[in-house]
Amino acid sequence: MKLTAHDLARMMDFSAVRTDVDEAEIRELVAQAKRLHCICIFPMPCYMPLCKHLLAGCPDVGLGGVVGFPSGAVATAAKAAEARQLLAEGAVELDMVINVGMLRSGRYDYVHDDIKAVVQAAGGTPVKVILEVHYLNDDQIRKGSELCVRAGAAFVKTGTGWTETGATAHNISLIKATVGSAAKIKAAGGVRDLKTLVELYRCGATRFGISHKSGAKILDECAALPGGAVEI
């Protein structure tokens, strides 16, 4: 099977969720998303109204909201309230961070209920649940993935992009072996070239969280290939 640059763009979430992102970068993010037709953009919550305004008239690019960024350690009620606020501001998808410390502590009921509260607040809007795998061992990744499925997550996501590692072939394969077809997988944290994206796709990831700069680079790589498509 071959995928064109447009096919890949429709698997990409362009994100700008670093602490130092300013309004100029947000405007650049939206401009690139509209030019390249990525499937969704994810800013930090304070930029939601601006992004909604800038995306007016561009229905093929969705607006996503991030919940509990970056640590995931805020109270469950605060996460649910943030989810409702993001939806009111136009979010069509939500990416939430689990409570990593509670998972590492074996507090599985807490983690499940934390995820479920956001899923319920989302009211049917897809929720991607971030494990932040950099801080987890294999058993914790498996358990976290199981809890995501039980709580109704649409996707299991590797990371926020704030840590040193995240999206690796090993981690994606481990999540895929755990969730099967019960949830989809989003790779984020370290997807910066076409080779990596293809490798992770083959392992089971179907969505990719990428900066708009890396996204443009990857799509240019693909477009430059013979026939303008990459073999998967």
Q: Which residues are known to be catalytic?
A: 95, 157, 186
Q: Structure tokens of 126?
A: 């897809």
Residue 52 CA to residue 127 CA, distance in Å, equals 19
| Contact by Cβ (8 Å): 117, 68 | no
Q: 217 to each of 8, 57, 221, 222, 224, how far by Cα in Å?
A: 12, 25, 6, 9, 11
Strands 229-231, 207-211: parallel, antiparallel or unpaired by DSSP? Answer: unpaired
